[in-house]
Structure 1
Amino acid sequence: MDITTILGLIIGIIVVMLAIMTGSDLSIFLNLPGILIVLGGTFAATLIKFQLHNVFVAFTVGIRAAFINEIDDPRQLINQAVRLTKVARKHGLVRLEKIKVGNTFFRKGLQLCADGREIEFIHKMLTREMEMAMQRQEIGALVFQSIGDSAPAFGMFGTLVGLVQMLSQMDDPTQIGKAMAVALLTTLYGVLIANLIALPLSDKLKMKTELERENRRLIMESISQIHARTNPTAVIEMLEAYLPEKQRQGEAKRETSMSRRVTDKKP
């Protein structure tokens, strides 16, 4: 569970509610026609820009990115790759299919290694899967970006409609203030949908897409080294390029010390 999304939504809703309730009654900020204009217009514009399938995929991917933290720690992936390299060197690649790995992308690469596939074929399969997964997430980010762009525009459209209706009733001055308030509500709805929901989700999806892409590249490099049965120390040095520089030396020292302790325990 990604607690930051929930925390952000809760704080945002509380701030908006407090700002409304401290100055007036909440009911005056509810306007069904304005909500329908913003939601309906935004959804219609999104359908025009994207295929229906992509829209529904975007909502699925967006919800998962917002509320589920599926990004693996690269340090754990490196440690796992080192252990798997040791297994491959000692017992052969066939043993890899018996080892449980949580990451499905990593598990697929290990299965291909255990099946005796050539490394070129493995790279081709994993690259294709990575590109398709990243493409789905990028389309999802674009859909939410589009929603964030369209919602304020339709909010302004609703305001213009309300102003036209207000000006048509100028013969009754007592209704002008009320009509003006209702007209401005659609702009408020559009701004909230864009800046509290759609645009933050788009940015989070873009960020998680980049993190996932880097992790998958790390996994593909790990699969190459496991397939080649590279020395574990060399594997650490190669894979630590994917870590921030401050973490590299610490990780290398920790893995080296672990290897030494294992060696010292052998008779």
Structure 2
Amino acid sequence: MTVRKPVLFTNVGIIIGAGAVLMAVFSGGGASVFLDRESFMITVLGSFAALLINYSWDEITQSFFEIRALLKLEIPDPVQTIEDFGALAVRARREGLLVLEDEIPKMDPFLGKGLQMIIDGMDSAAVSKVLEIELVQVEGRHQTCSGLLTVWSNLAPGFGMIGTLVGLVKMLNSLDDASTIGPSMAVALVTTFYGAIMANFILIPLAGKVNLRSQRVLLYREMIMEGLMALQAGVNPRVIEQRLRAFIVPQSDKASTRLKLEAADD
């Protein structure tokens, strides 16, 4: 089955966003003022420490691995998958379901797992139950990932403000030297800058990306489940394709159409 190449516009967004921030930082010189160890520790490490209060260490590490896997996951082309289901149904009608076992290693793992259970003789209710449980578990893990990123995005600006307040207190404590007020104020505001960058350029967009990818993955797998149930029931291949095309959103009056889930690949 063909697989779509993901994240083109994600990379474009990262390049444009990072470029815009760096241009603003380096224009006119004085970029070194944006590099401050204390600001980094308060904003990044402080917000992460607060995250540890919300989540256990295992939940955090598992979520990071899950986020990485989800963003790297290549969702098979849904149109090709529908055509493949039609071909599988034709072959199963002619030669029986058992001959489809040779195709399993080439398939999407979720599809292959469901087809293997059907070939092994499990009834449709049992197959559907197993796949539904897996979908619920996947959705739960994705929600945990999204929630973690959202919580962190709320914490980062707050700790940036804490760092700014710490800097202002230090500045006010040394008002006797007027020459230090400007530099001290600049350093104090750097923590707010760090918090804003973390939340608005990294964590909030990443949480949104995780949500979109999760929706597309779940939608694709729901389509797979519908196809498997129809295949097991011996439904006419053309009817199977028509059912699965209900998951497709027409993009134009032309023959070519795309699934909703394709948007996440960009």
TM-score, normalization: structure 2?
0.89
2:174 counterpart of 1:169:
yes
4+ residue runs over 4 A deviation: 246-249
Give the Cα separation in 2 of the matches to 1:204 and 1:74.
20
Offset at residue 10 of structure 1 (A): 2.0
1:213-263 CA-partner distances (Å, limit 9, x unpaired): 1111100000001111211111121111100145799379xxxxxxxxxxx
Counterparts of 1:241-256 in structure 2, within 5 Å, are 241-246=246-251, 250=255
Counterparts of 1:6-155 in structure 2, within 5 Å, are 6-66=11-71, 68-99=72-103, 100-155=105-160
Deviates more, 1:100-109 or 1:171-180: 100-109
TM-score, normalization: structure 1?
0.89
* 1:258 counterpart residue number: none
Which has the higher Rg, Structure 1 or Structure 2? 1
Offset at residue 45 of structure 1 (A): 1.5
Deviates more, 1:1-10 or 1:121-130: 1-10
Q: Is the 8 A contact 1:222 1:239 kept in 2?
A: yes
Q: Could you say if the C-alpha distance between residues 13 and 246 of structure 1 is closer, same or farther in structure 2, counting changes exceeding 3 Å? A: closer
Give secondary structure in 2 for the equivalent of 1:24: coil
Offset at residue 23 of structure 1 (A): 2.2
Counterparts of 1:188-267 in structure 2, within 5 Å, are 188-246=193-251, 250=255
* Aligned residue among 2, 5, 10 for 1:5: 10
Q: Could you say if the C-alpha distance between residues 196 and 64 of structure 1 is closer, same or farther in structure 2, counting changes exceeding 3 Å? A: farther
Q: Is the 8 A contact 1:74 1:215 kept in 2?
A: yes
Of Structure 1 and Structure 2, which has the larger fraction of its residues in helix? 1
Q: Could you say if the C-alpha distance between residues 249 and 28 of structure 1 is closer, same or farther in structure 2, counting changes exceeding 3 Å? A: closer
Aligned-residue RMSD, C-alpha: 1.8
Offset at residue 196 of structure 1 (A): 1.0
Offset at residue 21 of structure 1 (A): 1.0
Residue identity (%): 34
Offset at residue 160 of structure 1 (A): 0.6
2:183 counterpart of 1:178:
yes
**Structure 2, unaligned runs of 5 or more:** 1-5, 258-266
Q: Is the 8 A contact 1:94 1:113 kept in 2?
A: no
Give the Cα separation in 1 of the matches to 2:245 and 2:255.
10
1:139-168 CA-partner distances (Å, limit 9, x unpaired): 111111111111111101100110111111
**Structure 1, unaligned runs of 5 or more:** 253-267
Give the Cα separation in 1 of the matches to 2:45 and 2:131.
40
Give the Cα separation in 1 of the matches to 2:150 and 2:107.
31
Total equivalences in the alignment: 251
Give the Cα separation in 2 of the matches to 1:156 and 1:244.
45
Give the Cα separation in 2 of the matches to 1:58 and 1:89.
43
